Amino acid sequence: MTTTTTSTTYTWSPKAYSQHASFVPQLGTPILEALAPKPGERIMDIGCGDGILTERIRLSGAIVVANDASPDMIHQAKENFPDSADTYSVLDGHDLHSSEWGTATDKFDAVFSNAALHWMKKSPAQVVRGIRAVLKSNHQGRFVAEFGGFLNIASVHAALINGLNKRGFDGRAVSPWYFPSPAEYKLLLEENGFTDVTATLVGRPTVLSEAGLKGWLDTFGMAFMDVLGSDEEREELKNEIVEQLRPVLCDSQGVWTLDYWRLRVEAWTH
């Protein structure tokens, strides 16, 4: 079996994201309400994508710094919101601690993240330490996030891993996702400078776009597809997964619903 390690940087298509993942910012309202941004607060948005939720934070009167590892998504965010283009910059969440914000003395009131932290599999502890580094101390800095938690997209995830295993790869090693349990992530935060942590797993069945599971795989399954040698092999794997999961995830009207489980987190700094 071939072992392939994952990269934390992927080629994101803003067009595909808009077509097949519009539900991501649309379903971000609960965690944005938990953030409750206030005028004048300095807030960092990690993994901002195309900037839709970032702009909602900015319109609250907060001062926002937003980053994403994908240059294409940052470019799209600047196009979407040209009046706040300076808000956005390219930065991998693993590198926060060594960034200009991680080493600055002027710290943030809050760090916010929606649907991004589960992509930062290389070292979740390093990401958490970076988040802590940019925040104010003494219970003045808060961290509010939602991302994929334990059991998230379990059926698709298992099908992708098994599909690669059948083809001679180590599908688990290829997987780019980190889906922790509430207890696991609470401990990680407490070990790295946070207190008063709440971490709750929330079931959220999510209806996919008209392109269904195939469109979702085109948008989010890139790490698994990239290890295959040809477009034909990639199409074969996608079609195999679609037919395998059709009986359990697609209703009689052809509507696909994915088994999303989100980890909602709130924590304060020591």
List phi, psi (to 5°) of 162: -65, -35
Residue found by looking up tokens 């958490």 in the block: 128
DSSP for 70-122 reads -HHHHHHHHHH-GGGGGGEEE--GGGGGGSTTTS-SS-BSEEEEES-GGG--S
Report helix angle 154-166 to 212-220, nearest 10: 70
User: Given its phi and psi angles, is residue 142 left (phi above 0), alpha (psi -120 to 50 degrees) or beta?
Assistant: beta
In residues, how long is the chain?
Answer: 270
In DSSP terms, which residues pair with 75 in a beta bridge?
none
Amino acid 209: pLDDT: 87
Residue found by looking up tokens 């990269």 in the block: 7
Q: In Å, how far are 76, 212, 224 from 72, measured between CA atoms?
A: 6, 24, 20
Amino acid 187: pLDDT: 98
In DSSP terms, which residues pair with 264 in a beta bridge?
146, 200
* Protein fold of 14-151+176-207+261-269: Rossmann fold (3.40.50)
Nearest alpha carbon to residue 157 among 6, 260, 263, 5: 260
Per-residue pLDDT of the chain (270 residues; tens, 9 = 90+): 554 444 445 565 555 545 444 455 566 789 999 999 999 999 999 999 999 999 999 999 999 999 999 999 999 999 999 999 999 999 999 999 999 999 999 999 999 999 999 999 999 999 999 999 999 999 999 999 999 999 999 999 999 999 999 999 999 999 999 999 999 999 999 999 999 999 999 999 999 988 999 999 999 999 999 999 999 999 999 999 999 999 999 999 999 999 999 999 999 999
Report CA torsion sign: 200, 59, 50, 217: positive
Amino acid 51: pLDDT: 94
Nearest alpha carbon to residue 125 among 201, 69, 178: 178
Distance separating alpha carbons of residues 254 and 135, to the nearest angstrom: 46
List phi, psi (to 5°) of 97: -60, -30
Q: Enumerate residues 6+ apart whose C-beta is below 8 A from 74.
A: 48, 67, 68, 88, 89, 90
Quick one: tokens of 202?
Answer: 């929330």
Amino acid 7: pLDDT: 42
SS3 state at 196 = strand
